Amino acid sequence: MAHLLSTTCSLDVSSSNKLHFKSINQCSTPIPTSFNMGISFSPLKKLSLQSKRSAKYVVRASAVSMSQEARTQNDSGSQQTTDGASTRKKVMVIGGDGYCGWATALHLSNKGYEVAIVDNLIRRLFDDQLGLDSLTPISSIHNRIRRWKSLTGKDIQLFVGDICEFEFLAEAFKSFEPDAVVHFGEQRSAPYSMIDRSRAIYTQHNNVIGTLNVLFAIKEFREECHLVKLGTMGEYGTPNIDIEEGYITITHNGRTDTLPYPKQASSFYHLSKVHDSHNIAFTCKAWGIRATDLNQGVVYGVRTDETAMHEELVNRLDYDGVFGTALNRFCVQAAVGHPLTVYGKGGQTRGYLDIRDTVQCVEIAIANPAKPGEFRVFNQFTEQFSVNELAALVTKAGEKLGLEVKAISVPNPRVEAEEHYYNAKHTKLIELGLQPHLLSDSLLDSLLNFAVQYKDRVDTKQIMPSVSWKKIGAKPKTVAA
Ligand SMILES: NC(=O)c1ccc[n+]([C@@H]2O[C@H](COP(=O)([O-])OP(=O)(O)OC[C@H]3O[C@@H](n4cnc5c(N)ncnc54)[C@H](O)[C@@H]3O)[C@@H](O)[C@H]2O)c1
C-alpha cells in the first residue's frame, strides 16, 4: 500500500508524468511517479478481508508549514539555524493514528513542533478483522486532524501508507524532511502475534522491515535526523537480577566490558522489538545514525491535555483480550461488573506509566537528541506493579465509587513466570527532566469514571483472553467472538 494523503493541499498530475503538489501558498514541487506501481508483497494483503484496491495509487503530499501565529506560549519546538534564525523542529510521528502516537502527535504540535503523521491505519483494520472496538468512539484520522486545526490553528500533515513500502516512506521523508522521527508504527500486541502463523509472520515482517526502512530512509535522505524508536520493557524479560538501562558492565574471566543488556523476549511481538533494537544499534555503529530506543512499560490512561480538548480528539482505549493492556482492561472490567481477570498467580511484575508521561518522555528525547553514532537506551516507565497489586488498587478505587469489584484468577494464556524478582532501573528520563504522573487514587477514579461513561459500548465477549501461547498453530484463526 503506497499512497500519501494530505488534508491541506491539492494535487496535480502533469502530462510529463510527474506528480506535483501544491501547498496552500501555491508553490509547486515535483514528485517522481514511482508510486504508480503494482502492490509489492505485503502480509497485510494476505490478512486483509477488505476492499480490493486498484494496483495504482493516487499520491498526494503536502508541504504546508505551520503559520507563525499558531505558536503557543510554551513553545519548545523551535531550533536555531546556522544563520541564527529560529525554525520549527519537524517531527514525523510514524503510527500517529494509534494510542500512543495520536496523543504524542497532538502534544508535540501543541508544543510548537511541526508534525507529520505517517500511518497506514492498519490498527483500525485489525479491529474490523477481529470484531473488536475501542471503548471510546474514535473519529477518522482526517476528522481528528481537521478538528485539531479548527481548535488550535495548527496543521498536522498526514501521509497515509505503509512504511514497509520503501517508495512511500522515501517520498514522505523527501517531502517533509524530518529533524526527528518518532516510530510507534508497529503491530504492538503480543497476543495478536501469537494467534497463528500468519499473524506471527506479519508482526515480525511489519515491525522489523518497517524499522529497517526507516533506518535506510534516514541514511539516504536525512542523515542528521534523530530516530526515537518505541521499544518495550518486555524485551528484557524477567531476569533474576536488576534490569539496567540498555547496557550492563560485566567482568568475565578477569576481563570487563559494557555490553547490551541480555534480552529474553516472550512472544513473537517482543522478539520483533529485540531484532529492531539490534538493527538500530548496528546502524548507529555502521552509519553514524543517532537513535534513542525507548523501552516503554505498559501504558495506562486515556486523557492528555490535548485529547481532552474535544470529543473528536478522544484517544482509543482497548480493553479486549488481544489489545487491552492490564490496568486499562481492569478499569473497564470494573465499570461493567466483570471480574478482573488476573492471569495465573498474578505475581507478574512490570513497569507502568501514564499516557501523559509517554508524551512527555518522547518530547524529552526529541529535545535532547542522541549524538551521531550513539545508540541510547532509556527505560520508559515510572512505577512497577504486580498484576495482583493493580487488581487490588482497582478493587479499592471501584468500591469507593460504589462499584462491586472482584478479581478472579483465570488460566494464564501466556508462557511467563508468575512469581519472580523484578527491579528495573529508570533514571535517565528523570535526569533529563521527566516529572512523572504517578498512579494515584484520583487518576484511578477518573479512569474508572471514564470507563463507566462508555460502558454501554463494552462487548463483554471480548474481555476474556482468547489467544494461547501454547496452542498457536499454522492454520489461520479467527479469534472467538
Ligand atoms: N501501548 C502500550 O502499552 C505500549 C507499551 C510498550 C511499548 N509500546 C510501543 O509503542 C508503540 C505504539 O503503541 P500503541 O499502543 O500506540 O499501538 P497502536 O496499535 O495503537 O498504534 C500503532 C499505530 O501504528 C500504525 N502502523 C502499524 N504498522 C504500520 C506500518 N507498517 N506502516 C504505517 N503505520 C503502521 C497502526 O495503524 C497504528 O495506528 C508500539 O511500537 C508499541 O510496541 C506500547
Contact, 317 vs 132, CB < 8 A? no
Q: Is residue 132 part of a domain?
A: yes
47 assigned to some structural domain: no
pLDDT at 83: 80
Separation of CA 185 and ligand 1 centre (Å): 5
User: Which residue has its alpha carbon closest to ligand 1 atom 26?
Assistant: 185
Task: Report if residue 16 sits inside a domain.
Answer: no
Whether residue 63 contacts residue 8, with contact meaning beta carbons closer than 8 Å, is answered with: no
Mutate to test the pocket of ligand 1, among 125, 184, 229 (most ligand atoms within 8 A of CB): 184
Is residue 66 in some structural domain?
no
Q: Is 263 a catalytic residue?
A: no
Mean pLDDT (the chain, rounded): 87
- pLDDT digit string (tens) for 244-271? 999 999 999 999 999 999 999 999 999 9
In a domain, residue 339? The reply is yes
Active site residue 232: yes
Q: Is the pLDDT at 371 greater than 60, yes or no? A: yes
Pocket test for ligand 1, best of 45, 158, 165, 186 (most atoms within 8 A of CB): 186
* 208-241: pLDDT as tens digits: 999 999 999 999 999 999 999 999 999 999 999 9
CA of 205 to the centre of ligand 1 (A): 14
Tens-digit pLDDT profile for residues 463-480: 999 999 999 999 998 876
> What local confidence, expressed as pLDDT, does residue 86 receive?
82
What pLDDT is stored for residue 85 in this prediction? 77
At residue 2, the pLDDT reads 40
Establish whether residue 123 lines the binding site of ligand 1, counting it when its CB lies within 6 angstroms of any ligand atom: yes
Q: What is the pLDDT of residue 74?
A: 54
- CB 211 less than 6 A from any atom of ligand 1: no
Say how many Å lie between the CA of residue 479 and the centre of ligand 1: 20
Domain of residue 194 covers 90-462
Tell me, using a 6 A CB cutoff, whether residue 165 lines ligand 1: no
Q: Is residue 10 part of a domain?
A: no
Q: Is 353 in the pocket of ligand 1 (CB under 6 A)?
A: no
* Cα 96 to averaged position of ligand 1 atoms, centre (Å): 8
Q: Indicate if the pLDDT at residue 67 is higher than 60.
A: no
Catalytic residue check, 273: yes
381-409 pLDDT, tens digit per residue, is 999 999 999 999 999 999 999 999 999 99
Tens-digit pLDDT profile for residues 101-125: 999 999 999 999 999 999 999 999 9
Q: What is the domain-level CATH number for residue 457? A: 3.40.50.720
Q: Residue 40 pLDDT > 90, yes or no?
A: no
Query: Which atom of ligand 1 is least distant from the CA of 325?
Result: 3
Longest dimension (CA), the chain: 70
Q: What predicted TM-score, i.e. pTM, was given to this entire model?
A: 0.88
Give a yes or no: residue 262 inside a domain.
Answer: yes
Does the structure show a pLDDT above 80 at 48? no
| Domain presence at residue 455 | yes
Residue 380 CA to ligand 1 center (angstroms) comes to 15
Q: Is the pLDDT of residue 55 over 60?
A: no
**Per-residue confidence band for 75, with pLDDT thresholds at 50, 70 and 90:** low
From 7, 136, 211, 232, active-site residue: 232
Which grid cell is 79?
531550533
Residue 96 near ligand 1, beta carbon < 6 Å: no
Confidence of residue 30 (pLDDT cuts 50, 70, 90): very low
Task: Give the dihedral sign, CA 26/31/36/41.
Answer: negative
Percentage of residues in the chain having pLDDT higher than 70: 84
Atom of ligand 1 nearest to the CA of 100: 16
Q: Say what the pLDDT of residue 80 is.
A: 77
Number of independent structural domains in the chain: 1
pLDDT tens digits along 143-177? 999 999 999 999 999 999 999 999 999 999 999 99
